[in-house]
Amino acid sequence: MMGAMAIAQSVRSGRLSATHMLDQCLATLAKEYAPLCAVTRILAGPAREDAQRVDALVAAGRDPGALAGVPFGVKDLFDIAGLPTAAGSRVYADAPPAAEDAEAIRRLKAAGAVLVASLNMDEFAYGFATINALHGTTRNPHDPTRLAGGSSGGSAAAVAAGLLPFSLGSDTNGSIRVPASLTGLYGLKPTHGDLPMGGVFPFADSFDDIGPFTASLADMVTIWAILSGRSAQPHDTPIRLARLGGRFAQNIDPDQSAAIDAIAPDAPVVTVPDIARARSAAFLITASEGGRLHRAALARDAMAFDPQVRDRLIAGALLPDGLYDDAQAFRASFRATMLDLIAPYDVLIAPATPCTAPLVDDPRILIDGAMTAARADLGIHTQPISFTGFPSLSVPLYRPGRLPLGLQLIGKPSSEPTLFRLAAMLEQRGITGVTMPGHQHSGDIA
């Protein structure tokens, strides 16, 4: 499928109609989405109404918006008017329908975008694999025997497969950056709280953010600007780089190390203290907040939950308040430390995932010399960054013929434009860039 900006330009100029683009998108979805297990609902009726509204504006000589006629999908935890917000679970499959769209959807539709689908996820966003007991396991378009990552795996897979030009996911501990890395896309976890969370089913309010998946950097910048209400103004000042060492230099693919060497050969190495403690505290806070959120539903019908999610939520609900308070206090001191460490620099560079996508039939990865569950540990490099609330852009390494891998570009709060500028420079140098599925992979191991 064409990129978002190309579609919008064609629709705004009258060369293509939004209805024509929607028909193409729906035909592709009907033919190709099922094997990926990426889509939970196709919204053909409302989408047609929105596309016709865009076409009417064009016919009247009015500007339908920067995303005119661009189809998109959202993770299954965004409110969609008239439908229950299930968050990937049978627990809320028959909940009362949402009265209105989530604020992010509203902003995108106001810019002319056309919502066509809701997309698969780990139940209640609790996992890094998109192994869903209700909808099935989302497959990686680059190799359907492998995971797409999670918890926003359906959102990533739909874009990586060319079914949609962009999608929205959510990121609590890495749930955008992990699938972006494993499927070879751009994926943004914004500065915490910068993008609209209204109408998004929560996992852990302390960390939750929404963000886009795109197959081009230009699309990412435009969608971020629409969602944030900000502009990525160009600058020509040098970007001061540092690379994250310590735990971030362990459990890393050799290609990621080589790419970081190429990007910042002389950059200083910043070692963050207490990384293991930060990740443990992040696990504790998310477990506690998730457990509290679902405590009543667990008491009412615990057996309706995915067993792997249920057990972790119950454990979280039983955590003492004192432990939660201690973890939040440590988080505040850790963030202050990170602000001091990043102060001399503009961007910190780190791996996004520790490896390429693991096999569906053996969803484990190698961490510290031992095989561990991918569902829990694919976020080993993303979780400590979420803990700070800093923005982080996952950028895909350009490696045709091989399974995708990404890096994180991590910035100071509200520095997304700097991350985009560095990403553009890396793309121009041929270090990063999206490669769509369709060729053989070589040299990759599980």
Q: Catalytic site residues?
A: 75, 151, 175
* Residue 132 structure tokens: 């869903």
* Residue 135 structure tokens: 């909808």
Round to whole Å and give the CA distance between 311 and 275: 26
Taking CA atoms, 266 is separated from 260, 262, 345, in Å, by 10, 9, 13
